[in-house]
Amino acid sequence: MTQSALAQRVGCKQSAISMLESGQAEKVSKETVEKIAKLLDVPLEASPAPAAAAQPPLSGANGYCPSAACPSNVPYTVQGELFFWPRLQPLSAGPRCVFCGELLEARCPQCGAPVTDGACCPQCGAARVTNTVGTDSVPDAWAERRRREIADWKSLLS
């Protein structure tokens, strides 16, 4: 299971899972740690098991930011459901998103397939970016406003 997939199931950010894996559990809320432990059926008082072997990095690969709030992810709707089209970023430039600093994903959060262009994985169909923005308005209107904001930000950078 990828960090993104676990974060999605627990309801936290992928970076929280990364912090736990890198031994920085004190930076993650106790509630989040408890949810992860429960989901993985791991008692908190036991010593941690050795980490599963991580998938090797992809040479020359691109990654995407898994944060729905990041301006690199352009929102759009399909039949009233909100999706995000992530802008791919070269992993050779570093492991973090150049827009928001979140750790980039190089593999599908569900099946682990290498990332390709598009909002969903061509192998399993899973959305790359999970909607965590919690809009309180009509998704179409929210997505249109957000696209205008992103266009305004881009014009500032030009």
**Model pLDDT, residue 52:** 38
Q: What are phi and psi of 108, to 5 degrees?
A: -60, 135
Q: What count of other Cβ atoms lies within 10 Å of the Cβ of residue 20?
A: 20
pLDDT exceeds cutoff 90 at 138: no
For the chain, domains (ranges, CATH) are 1-50 (1.10.260), 58-158 (no CATH)
Q: What values do phi and psi take at 105, rounded to 5?
A: -105, 135
pTM over cut 0.75: no
Contacts of 1 (CB under 8 A, 6+ apart): none
pLDDT at 21: 76
Taking all residues of the chain, what is their mean pLDDT, rounded to a whole number? Answer: 82
Across the strands, what pairs with 118? none
Confidence check: pLDDT of 37 > 80: yes
Instruction: Tell which residue, 142, 136, 108, has the closest CA to residue 8.
Output: 108
Residue 73: both structure tokens together? 């992810």
pLDDT at 111 over 90: no
Whose structure tokens read 């989040």? 32
User: Which neighbouring-strand residues pair with 127?
Assistant: 120
Q: What percent of the chain has pLDDT over 70?
A: 85
Residue 2, pLDDT above cutoff 90: no
Q: Which amino acid is at 125?
A: G
Tens of pLDDT, residue by residue over 58-94, are 556 899 999 988 999 999 998 888 899 999 999 988 8
What pLDDT shows up at residue 60? Answer: 66
Share of the chain above pLDDT 90, in %: 21
CA distance 57 to 46: 30
